[in-house]
Structure 1
């Protein structure tokens, strides 16, 4: 897979490697986000041992680890019966040469021996500490890495010198990969999200429809069953979690709505939602003006665009896809896709606001998010408490140019946003896929900013 971006992560690893003393780095994140490619890129021009764990019996895992250590030092494989002795052997070798040691998919080792973090602790404290070497533990099971490596009760707690939570690309970062023009780039991102492996599977010389049919709707394609594999990485019994994700993807966003759609009572549902949040599979939103995290006006959303697409269009129609994928695409996905993309477009516009703030195209705002109250909703609201300034913005993924009706609607809803003093400074923005009716810009005062897709692309173009 081609390596993209990750300059910040590479910089963190490089700085650690070039500083004196030993380092213990923890790298984690969901499957397919590019952790392995990042570590291979980092190790490419450095002396290193890279060990990729697999789901095998403990003795086979240990034998393969020792094979790689012995092979690097051109020695015969020693006869060793435990992980404690294996790390002692590695520690002895590091007295001769400083290396980067990468253990990838560390959770697979912990599955077979839950004492492994204690053995790694002994290695870090006694052997690694006396060298200029680096140990990197990497894993795709976020729950295992957070509990067994980073958690308060882990023997390794407090010993890391750095940690990298590798997340999917934002649209701005993904734009380097997606070579479609801006309209189809946003539509494509609404399908793949920012996971590098998903992004690089698509052939951008083909239409988006062709990519969806060949890479998502084909039962032999990698992405057809990908969410199930992802959930099984973290959960032993994913069925109820899948039903929750499907409900949220279909638009049931409040706890009561999710409970009604899934039949799961509110008590157990709360625990399931908490787990899905911890695994970064769903996000909990509250209005940007809400005080505190305990707001009762919470909504949930699937945190990944591909998962949202899959649970909206693939999971509910599996039987039909097996028989006639083209019918599912033409009859179900294509007509509804603009509704799906509209939500993604709001996120892209929010990215543009943050980037515009960094570039000085927008006044600064310390908080930016969605707002809703009762029947009223505003796609983007920015708050600048120190200046009593508020930004109110709408994002329209429609086939018709935006006109005066939306302007009047946004001004009316602004009165319902209870924030700041009565004489607050109100600024307005509208982002539109299809542009604006002729002359709209001349009718608006300097509190208003209008953005086309070309304007958004210009703001988010990486330099």
Structure 2
């Protein structure tokens, strides 16, 4: 797979490797986000030992690890009785040469022997510390990496010199891959999200419709069963989690709504939601003006565009897709895709807002997010760090140009947002897929920014 972006992450690893002394780097994140590709790209032409752990017995894992070390040093494979001996052997070799040592899927080692972190603590303290080498621990099980490597109770706590929480690509990063014009790129991103593997499966010389049919709606395609596969690798009984994800993807975003859609009582539902958040499959959102810890006005959203697409359009229609995928696309997906993309468009507009803030074209705001109260909702609200200025923005993914009605509506809703002093400064922005009616720009003040796709293309 072609390697894209991750420049900041590579720079961090390169700086660590070139600096004096040892390093212990932790690379973790959801499955498919590109942790292995990042690690391999960094190893590159540098002297390195790359070990990919597997779901095997502890004895076989240890054998393969020692074989990897011996192979690099062109050494006879020694007899090793335990992980302490294995790491001692590695330590002896690192005394002679600066290396990158990468252990990928580290949680698989911990599954078979939960004392591995203790052995590694001893290795870091006694042997790695006296070298210029770097040890990278990489893993997809976020919970295991956070508890067994990064957590306060871990023997390795305080030993790491850096960590990379690898995230899916934002839209700006994904555009390096998506070879469509901006409008079609936003539609495509609403389907694949920013997971590198999903992005690179699409053939951007083909229309989006063809990619969806070939890569998602075909029962033989990788993405057809991908979410179910991901859940089964993390959870023993994924059925209820599947129901919750489908409920959220189809618009049931509050705990009460999710409970009603799934018939799961509030108590158990809370635990399921916590697990899905821990796995980074959903996110919890509160109004940007509210406290995340104290607010009871929480909403949940599927944290990945592809999963949101799949649970909205694929999971409820599996039987029909097996029989007539083209009919499902034309009758269900195509008519409802604009509504699905509208949510993604709001997130892309948030990226554009942050770009304008960074370039001093808006400014400065320290928090940007959605706001709602009762029946009122504003797509984007920005809060200034000194609480004397606020930004209001609406995002319209519609086929008609935006007109004066939206300007009036946004002004009215802005008056009902209680934040900052009465004399606060206010800025406004409108984003529109289809542009604006003639004369609108002349009828609003300088505190308004009107941004169509052409303007967004420049910003992004």
Counterpart of 1:2 in 2: which secondary structure?
A: coil
Structure 2 equivalent of residue 213 of structure 1: 213
Shift of 1:229: 2.0
Q: Quick one: distance in 2 between partners of 1:387 and 1:274? A: 32
Q: Quick one: distance in 2 between partners of 1:395 and 1:59? A: 56
Shift of 1:82: 1.5
Question: 2:387, 2:420 within 8 Å by CA — same for their partners in 1?
Answer: no
Cα RMSD for the two superposed structures: 1.1
Q: Quick one: distance in 2 between partners of 1:360 and 1:439? A: 26
Q: Quick one: distance in 2 between partners of 1:124 and 1:386? A: 44
Question: 1:143, 1:234 within 8 Å by CA — same for their partners in 2?
Answer: no
Question: 2:286, 2:292 within 8 Å by CA — same for their partners in 1?
Answer: no
Shift of 1:89: 0.9
Q: Quick one: distance in 2 between partners of 1:161 and 1:73? A: 26
Residue pairs, 1:76-95, within 5 angstroms:
76-95=76-95
Question: 1:246, 1:315 within 8 Å by CA — same for their partners in 2?
Answer: yes
Shift of 1:54: 1.2
Counterpart of 1:204 in 2: which secondary structure?
A: coil
* Alignment CA distance shift 1:399-1:148 (3 Å): same
User: Deviation digits for residues 159-193 of structure 1, max 9, x if unmatched?
Assistant: 11101100000001111111100000000000010
Structure 1 equivalent of residue 176 of structure 2: 176
User: Deviation digits for residues 3-45 of structure 1, max 9, x if unmatched?
Assistant: 1110100011001001111111110011111111111111112
Question: 1:47, 1:99 within 8 Å by CA — same for their partners in 2?
Answer: yes
Structure 1 equivalent of residue 204 of structure 2: 204
Q: Quick one: distance in 1 between partners of 2:242 and 2:123? A: 40
Structure 2 equivalent of residue 327 of structure 1: 327
Structure 2: any 5+ residue segments left out of the alignment?
none
Structure 1 equivalent of residue 226 of structure 2: 226
Q: Quick one: distance in 1 between partners of 2:39 and 2:126? A: 25
* Alignment CA distance shift 1:205-1:87 (3 Å): same
**TM-score, normalised with respect to structure 1:** 0.98
Question: 1:29, 1:142 within 8 Å by CA — same for their partners in 2?
Answer: yes
Structure 2 equivalent of residue 339 of structure 1: 339
Residue pairs, 1:250-265, within 5 angstroms:
250-265=250-265
Structure 2 equivalent of residue 425 of structure 1: 425
Residue pairs, 1:26-105, within 5 angstroms:
26-105=26-105
Structure 2 equivalent of residue 21 of structure 1: 21
Question: 2:394, 2:430 within 8 Å by CA — same for their partners in 1?
Answer: yes
Counterpart of 1:349 in 2: which secondary structure?
A: helix
Question: 2:28, 2:142 within 8 Å by CA — same for their partners in 1?
Answer: yes
Q: Quick one: distance in 1 between partners of 2:253 and 2:292? A: 20
Counterpart of 1:49 in 2: which secondary structure?
A: strand
Count of aligned positions = 460
Q: Quick one: distance in 2 between partners of 1:385 and 1:415? A: 20
* Alignment CA distance shift 1:294-1:129 (3 Å): same
User: Deviation digits for residues 284-317 of structure 1, max 9, x if unmatched?
Assistant: 1111111452201111111111111111111111
Structure 1 equivalent of residue 441 of structure 2: 441
User: Deviation digits for residues 331-354 of structure 1, max 9, x if unmatched?
Assistant: 111100000000000000001001
Q: Quick one: distance in 2 between partners of 1:395 and 1:243? A: 30
Structure 1 equivalent of residue 280 of structure 2: 280
Shift of 1:236: 2.1
Shift of 1:429: 0.7
User: Deviation digits for residues 93-114 of structure 1, max 9, x if unmatched?
Assistant: 1112121100001111111112
Q: Quick one: distance in 1 between partners of 2:385 and 2:126? A: 50
Structure 1: any 5+ residue segments left out of the alignment?
none
Structure 2 equivalent of residue 127 of structure 1: 127
Counterpart of 1:136 in 2: which secondary structure?
A: strand
Structure 2 equivalent of residue 166 of structure 1: 166
Q: Quick one: distance in 1 between partners of 2:386 and 2:115? A: 51
Counterpart of 1:386 in 2: which secondary structure?
A: coil
* Alignment CA distance shift 1:247-1:292 (3 Å): closer
Question: 1:142, 1:234 within 8 Å by CA — same for their partners in 2?
Answer: no
Q: Quick one: distance in 1 between partners of 2:215 and 2:294? A: 40
Q: Quick one: distance in 2 between partners of 1:439 and 1:150? A: 56
Shift of 1:91: 1.0
User: Deviation digits for residues 104-136 of structure 1, max 9, x if unmatched?
Assistant: 011111111122111111111111111111111
Shift of 1:233: 2.9
**TM-score, normalised with respect to structure 2:** 0.98
Is 1:138 equivalent to 2:138 in the alignment? yes
Structure 2 equivalent of residue 450 of structure 1: 450
Shift of 1:51: 0.6
Question: 1:247, 1:258 within 8 Å by CA — same for their partners in 2?
Answer: yes
